[in-house]
Amino acid sequence: MSIEVLQLVGIGLIAAVIAVVLRQQKSELGIYISIATGFVIFMMIMGRLVSVVGILNNLARQANMDSMHLSVVLKVIGIAYITEYGSQICKDAGESAIASKIELGGKLIILSLTVPILAALLEIILQILP
């Protein structure tokens, strides 16, 4: 098991305990702890994220894949993670309605990014069919 996993879980558990204790005294402090912890964890995994993107770029180049397609896939993944993070923060703050709107907005943005790829795919299919 990777030491990084233990570090991530340790940071998360410590932050959760601190947030619970602080919420009893000042409820808004708990949300600040949650946001700060998310930022720290993101910074911890940034190196792995950069490595994965590099590997995907190399694979796409070797496969002569259009860089636009990989770019869209990476954007979609990023949007999904960012909207999930924002949604969870809102849920932690007790704002489920806002969390739902963030999720809907993220899904619509993802849909708008993928429409050109879907259109190109349909064109290829129509060209193949008699």
Q: Give me the number of domains the chain comprises.
A: 1
CB 56 within 8 A of CB 70: yes
**Which residues form the domain of 84?**
66-130
Residue 117 has pLDDT above 90, yes or no: no
Indicate whether 20 belongs to any domain: no
Asked if residue 87 belongs to a domain, the reply is yes
Residues in the chain: 130
**Is residue 99 one of the residues assigned to a domain?**
yes
Work out the pLDDT band at 1, boundaries 50, 70, 90.
Answer: low
pLDDT tens-digit map of 18-42: 988 888 888 788 888 888 998 999 8
Asked whether residue 122 is domain-assigned, the answer is: yes
Name the one residue in this structure whose structure tokens are 């999930």.
84
